[in-house]
Structure 1
Amino acid sequence: MDFFKKLIDSTQASLDPLNFVAVIISALISVYISKGSITSQFIKERHDKLIFPIFNLLEPILYTKCDTAILHKVLKIIEANKNLADGRLIELSYCCAINPNNINFMDLCAYIDSAYDKSCKKIGLKTRSFPYRFVRHQYKSPFHLIKFLTIYILLRLLIVFSILFALLFLVALGIVLFESAKPINQLTMLFFFCIFIFLFSRYLQKNC
């Protein structure tokens, strides 16, 4: 509603094309920010009320034998926060409620295992490391372990090669620009290069 109101009420927008474009852009940005804020709130609420409480209960028995007492608590959490659950989780809770066997329990574990990591990424929390998951046997089967390990290694290699390629490109570009720059500009470039190296090293310390 605010978007259309801005378009109608702005007399300048109807007279000046630049103002008209500015109004449209500002309105779209405000809508985007508002939508992003609502989505972030929903993701955080879903994590705090649904995903984490379920994961916290299931993690000690993840991909092991079904514990009906714990499963009952999980189903109560899902029922209490059904408005935050997607169709797949509702379906899994229904299957576990009417037939709490190990197959349905494993499917629920697989869902929560994946949903927890995705939720952590969305709200800016670090996910579980591969060594942690390996030691605690948090994988559905040997096939899933091999699959996860393969993806894990390939992603790490891709990241390393991407960083190396980007660094080589930046160094080559920097050398060309540095040699063609004036002495005063060379000092400025060296200053920014030192800042970049410092920030990059701090990033590696935190994430490696």
Structure 2
Amino acid sequence: MNITAAHERVRQERMRMSMVRRTLGAALEGEAAADNPVPVYLACSDYLKHALDRLHAQDHRLWERLNPHAGPDDVVFRDKLDKLKFRLAASEQALAGLVIARDTLRDRGASEREGFEDEARRFLDVFLNILSASRHSTLAEEEAKFADSDWDYVADNTADAHAEEVRLFGEVEKAAPGFMDSLPPIAPPPGH
């Protein structure tokens, strides 16, 4: 498969999102900024809101580009597309809960920490058990059907979006100094 610059940027964004997700999980377990995890919670949630909004939009565009390639009798491919829509809905709902908890924590302070932690754990459960468990299920179809222009459309890379993603990632690094450097390396996700 020819990896375009747009496709590579999406891969990098998703690798950083995985790092932030693992940082949030570690903060919930007292492994990152144990003395005061609230700044880590807020920075991770801010990053995840931005990154997942982009991922959701990208996956909606991915579905839009793949759907015409799925014939009415292609039950396996149709099932993959249905599951993509299901995962998107679950992720959007989980993110909405996390954002409400983040905003409440930011507005009301540490008294809302336990509520945030409960919601963050629910979010991570959805992220790990629904989204990550079946990510890349359409990879073979993407590789077979997509041209560079499809990747450019799906990625929708803009300088502003990239700058904001980098800024928010930097905020997570500031909130949990050195922690992400200690994470075990992850392989780039296949495909996207």
Q: TM-score, normalised by structure 1?
A: 0.31
Asked which structure has the greater CA Rg, the reply is: 1
Pick the structure with more helix per residue: 1
Q: TM-score, normalised by structure 2?
A: 0.34
Bigger RCO of structures 1 and 2 (CA < 8 A, at least 6 apart)? 2
